[in-house]
Amino acid sequence: MDFTIGVILAFAVAYISYRVRFLSSSGAIATFLLASVISGLGGIKWSVPILTFFILSSILSKLRKRRNAAVEFFFEKSGVRDHFQVLANGGLGGVLIILYSIQQCELYYLIYLASLSAVCADTWATEIGTWKKNNTYNILNLQTIEQGSSGGISIIGSMGALAGSITITLSGIVWIEISYIQYVILILSAGLLGSFFDSILGATVQEQYKCSVCKKVTEKQIHCGIQADHFKGYSWINNDMVNFFSGLSGALIIIILKNITRF
């Protein structure tokens, strides 16, 4: 019965998200399958955090696009999420809930929240950080760069990352089995460090192109209507891979801290 309810909820979320253009058709299918597994096996405990991330992040993305559409020229993908984006942000959660269903270990839930905290912090850093024009800096050398460029950070964006991490922390706090203080420190740390790790990857190894028409460096292969020239980074490390590594880094931070603190 619980699994059936989870599947029904997954279908409702995927269908509504497709209708309001949060998701493409492939994104809706991926969301249905992923949400069916997470909701069906994990119930409300596992469903609330990922739904909180997905719904609020999608709304922020839509609102930001209306306020500052100019930065869209830098992003490989934005707005309507496809299946690659869904799996990059939530695929690890699907693996973790399967492991949790086999072995009821609360560490899996903390790892799950840590990974979501990282991807939410990264997503909100972008959406809130580019809500309006502000100074943006390269995370490696703090030199001023164009807003929306890969590897960029800003004060407002960092505040957005903190807000995203806090949101995920609160979404799972009802079900945690360690002290609140310890829990908050762990999940907030995983979120913020994961977000900064994402920016470091963006500034170093993420694939980027340079448009021969407008001379801008962008994540898009096609820019100003023509094929852009490869500028730097590895071809297999696109924005989706960077997001996946961001979530994975949040998960690894929890595992490392567990071995250090023995919580």
Q: Kindly report, residue by residue over 89-108, the tens digit of the pLDDT.
A: 999 999 999 999 999 999 99
For 131-184, the pLDDT digits (tens) are 888 899 999 999 998 888 889 999 999 999 999 999 999 999 999 988 999 999
Spatial neighbors of 189 by CB under 8 A, at least 6 apart, are 253, 257
**Residue in 56, 49, 15 with CA at minimum distance from that of residue 32:** 15
What is this structure's pTM?
0.93
Q: What is the mean pLDDT of the chain?
A: 91
Task: Give CA separation, 208 vs 132, 150, 232, in Å.
Answer: 23, 8, 5
What is the token pair recorded at 8?
Answer: 């029904």
What is the token pair recorded at 165?
Answer: 């991490």
Res 223: pLDDT? 79
Question: Which of the 8 DSSP states describes residue 221?
Answer: S
SS3 of 133, please? coil
> CA-to-CA distance for 242 and 208, rounded, in angstroms?
12
What is the token pair recorded at 159?
Answer: 């505040």
Res 163: pLDDT? 97
> CA-to-CA distance for 202 and 165, rounded, in angstroms?
20
CB atoms within 10 A of CB 134: 13
224 confidence band (pLDDT: 50, 70, 90): confident
For 41-85, the pLDDT digits (tens) are 999 999 999 999 999 999 998 888 887 777 776 777 666 889 999
* Length, in residues, of the chain: 263
> What DSSP string runs through 142-154?
--EE-TT-TTEE-
> CA-to-CA distance for 45 and 65, rounded, in angstroms?
31
Res 263: pLDDT? 65
Is residue 219 within 8 Å of 209, Cβ to Cβ? yes
- β-partners of residue 3 are none
